[in-house]
Amino acid sequence: MRLLLDTHILLWWLTDGSRIRQESREVIRDGKNQVFISSASAWEIAIKRGLGKLRAPGDLKEQVQTARFEVLNVTIDHALAVSDLPAHHSDPFDRILVAQALVEDLTMVTQDPRIHRYDVAVLGR
């Protein structure tokens, strides 16, 4: 399975994995699955951390590498795919993650109920 972690799942994985549903934790932990995090998530974390709205690890890049997650950079195809999405969600970071999952045929790991409204594979749906 090829997974894309929503930003909150990434942060919970690195700080308090017990907040993630057990099924999702098991699938992320399974070495047979390919787990991606988006560069957009790092951007979102950096912005919110800089504004004092979020406490996040200062060594995010190193922790992502240690967790053996793969970084999925935002491409022009991902950015353009956002225009095809229905307006279920106003958060631009979540919208780009949904677009990336659709373009790259990834299953999103999220606990955000708004993501389920999109025609995207979601773990635990």
Domains and CATH numbers, the chain: 2-117 (3.40.50.1010)
**Structure tokens that stand for 61 in this block:** 């890049």
Residue 110: the pLDDT is 96
Residue 57: the pLDDT is 82
State the alpha helices, DSSP H only, in 16-91: 22-29, 39-50, 60-66, 76-81
Residue 125: the pLDDT is 59
Residue 108: the pLDDT is 98
Cα separation of 118 and 96, whole Å? 12
Q: Cα separations (Å) of 112 from 61, 103, 108, 109?
A: 24, 20, 10, 9
Tens-of-pLDDT digits for all 125 residues of the chain? 999 999 999 999 999 889 999 999 999 999 999 999 999 999 999 999 989 888 888 889 999 999 999 999 999 999 999 999 998 888 999 999 999 999 999 999 999 999 999 999 999 65
Residue 14: the pLDDT is 93
